[in-house]
């Protein structure tokens, strides 16, 4: 988390001496359950100690004045109810405000400065952290009374309507509901969730950032979602109650294979199997069987790469190197894909050897230094 002193000084410099309030919302990791959220399936994310933090104060006007520390203290102002701002980063605030209004909330103008340490483009949901941070802050300073679940939906709809990504709810939910030392097992259809302790003994969660972000990320994300919906539309002809892939079995999909476009079929098969893998991983976790959890994680990568088509050479390579290290129990790309990072469960005493090896080989092959990101599972969005 960024030092609040930096925010305090920045706030005083840009907005004068009155005391702001501070709010923070974290990024997330996800153990397993990828691309299942918008299909009504299950996910297993956790909030981390990398967050977006804001210093904010209501200004008794209709104007929002923002300063983005991580954009070299770039400034942007807009009027509530006015034109969408030009700066993409300011659209997250604009979107959150508009979505709050849509639900009957009425935030006023404010002055704010924000910054963070969620690695950008690493698949750790810096944008959900920003939405959850803005949502939590506005909810509190304007006493809007939204629940955390509503704030998660506000963040998700901000992505849909103002950023152009038809994302699921995992990232915003994790950022708002996460708890230190726990993962959130979330049913993305009912939004029922269980907070599960996550403290595998002798195992380290290692994140290796490819440092690449392919341009396709958001457009292909929406394409994947549409391909899943295409599969559902076919099944729905026979079972009209089916709304989401979550309700379709592999047998059912198989029996309509000839009616579904082959690419969409592959995408749907991945999602159905991914839900099963998550269940298997949760059962194994309950028995402290992290060898089995690791196997499911490896299988997820295989599916994301070959069936779902959201991996890339750089991610595949890091996972391939993992397979040559018996100390790595499982490794896979994490998040939406097309770049970002690999998450691996590695035996504590073999983690450094794997990291050194993968760094050396990755740099030799791609001429890029990968970034190793240390994370701790920490609390979700809050005033600080
Ligand atoms: C992105 C989206 C999430 C989810 C993941 C893939 O992070 O924001 O909603 O779909 O990709 O699991």
Domain shared by 187 and 211, yes or no? no
Residue 265 sits in which domain range? 203-373
Three-class SS state of 209: strand
- Residue 184 to residue 29: CA distance in whole angstroms: 11
209 and 353 fall within a common domain: yes
- Yes or no: say if 331 and 337 are a contact pair by the CB < 8 Å rule: no
Rounded-to-integer distance, Cα 200 and Cα 182, Å? 11
**Quick one: which atom of ligand 1 is closest to the CA of 127?**
8
Q: Output the pLDDT for position 214.
A: 75
> Could you tell me the distance, in angstroms and rounded to a whole number, from the CA of residue 310 to the centre of ligand 1?
11
Q: Is the pLDDT reported for residue 122 higher than 90?
A: no
Cβ–ligand 1 distance for 209 under 6 Å, the answer: no
Confidence of residue 265 (pLDDT cuts 50, 70, 90): very high
- Block residue for tokens 């440092």: 211
* pLDDT per residue as tens digits for the range 184-204: 999 999 999 999 999 999 999
Is 163 in the same domain as 21?
Answer: yes
Rg (CA), the chain: 21
Whether 86 and 181 share a structural domain: yes
Label residues 127-146 b or e (16+ Cβ within 10 Å = b). bbbbbbbbbbbbbebeebeb
Give the separation between CA 168 and CA 314, rounded to whole angstroms.
25
In this structure, the number of other CB atoms found within 10 A of the CB of residue 124 comes to: 27
Residue with tokens 């740099």: 363
Residue nearest to atom 11 of ligand 1 (CA): 336
Residue that finishes a domain, picked among 176, 199, 222: 199
- pLDDT score, position 217: 76
Q: Residue 38 falls within a domain, yes or no?
A: yes
Q: Is 333 helix (H, G, I), strand (E, B) or coil?
A: strand
Ligand 1 neighbour 332 (Cβ under 6 A): no
Q: Report how far ligand 1's centroid is from the alpha carbon of 215 (Å).
A: 16
d(CA 342, CA 30): 10
Please tell me if the CB atom of residue 131 comes closer than 6 angstroms to any atom of ligand 1.
no
Give yes or no: residues 170 and 26 share one domain.
yes
Shortest-distance Cα residue to atom 8 of ligand 1: 167
249/273 same-domain check: yes
Q: Domain end: 139, 168, 199, which one?
A: 199
187 assigned to active site: no
> Which residue among the candidates 37, 111, 117, 171 is catalytic per the annotation?
171
pLDDT surpasses 90 at 381: yes
Average pLDDT rounded to a whole number, residues 363-380? 96
Global pTM value:
0.96
Is the same domain home to 173 and 225? no
Q: What does the pLDDT look like over 62-111, one tens digit per residue?
A: 999 999 999 999 999 999 999 999 999 999 999 999 999 999 999 999 99
Q: Who's near 144: CB < 8 A, 6+ residues apart?
A: 100, 105, 106, 107, 138
State the average pLDDT over residues 10-25.
Answer: 95
* Ligand 1, atom nearest to 336 Cα: 11
What is the predicted pLDDT for the residue at 18?
Answer: 86
**Residue 218 above 90 pLDDT?**
no
Q: What is the pLDDT of residue 219?
A: 87
Atom of ligand 1 nearest to the CA of 169: 9
d(CA 379, CA 25): 9
Residue 316 near ligand 1, beta carbon < 6 Å: no
């Amino acid at each position: 988390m960024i030092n609040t002193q930096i925010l305090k000084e920045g706030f005083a410099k840009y907005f004068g001496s009155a005391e702001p309030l501070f709010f923070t919302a974290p990024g997330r990791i996800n153990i397993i359950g990828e691309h299942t959220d918008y299909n009504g399936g299950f996910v297993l994310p956790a909030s981390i100690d990398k967050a977006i933090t804001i210093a904010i104060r209501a200004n008794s006007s209709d104007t929002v004045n923002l300063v983005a520390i991580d954009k070299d203290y770039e400034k942007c102002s807009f009027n509530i109810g006015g034109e969408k701002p030009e700066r993409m980063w300011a659209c997250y605030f604009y979107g959150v405000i508009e979505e709050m209004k849509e639900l009957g909330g009425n935030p006023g103008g404010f002055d704010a400065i924000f910054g963070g340490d969620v690695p950008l483009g690493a698949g750790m949901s810096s944008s959900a952290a920003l939405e959850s941070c803005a949502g939590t802050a506005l909810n509190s300073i304007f006493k809007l009374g939204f629940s955390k679940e509503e704030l998660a939906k506000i963040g998700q709809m901000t992505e849909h309507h103002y950023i152009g990504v038809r994302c699921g709810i995992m990232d915003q939910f994790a950022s708002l509901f996460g708890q230190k030392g726990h993962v959130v097992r979330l049913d993305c259809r009912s939004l029922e969730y269980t907070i599960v302790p996550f403290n595998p003994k002798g195992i380290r969660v290692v994140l290796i950032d490819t440092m690449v972000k392919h341009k396709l990320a958001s457009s292909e994300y929406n394409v994947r979602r549409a391909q899943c919906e295409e599969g559902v539309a076919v099944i729905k002809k026979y079972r009209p109650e089916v709304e989401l892939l979550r309700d379709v079995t592999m047998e059912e999909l198989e029996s309509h294979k000839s009616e579904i476009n082959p690419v969409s079929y592959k995408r749907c098969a991945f999602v159905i199997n991914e839900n099963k893998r998550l269940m298997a991983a949760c059962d194994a976790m309950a028995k402290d069987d992290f060898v089995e959890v690791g196997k499911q994680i490896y299988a997820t990568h295989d599916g994301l790469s070959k069936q779902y088509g959201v991996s890339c050479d750089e991610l595949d390579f890091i996972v391939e190197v993992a397979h040559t290290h018996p100390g790595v129990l499982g490794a896979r790309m994490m998040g939406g894909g097309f770049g970002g990072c690999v998450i691996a469960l590695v035996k504590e005493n073999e983690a450094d050897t794997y990291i050194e090896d993968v760094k050396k080989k990755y740099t030799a092959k791609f001429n890029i230094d990968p970034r190793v990101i240390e994370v701790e599972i920490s609390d979700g969005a809050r005033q600080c």
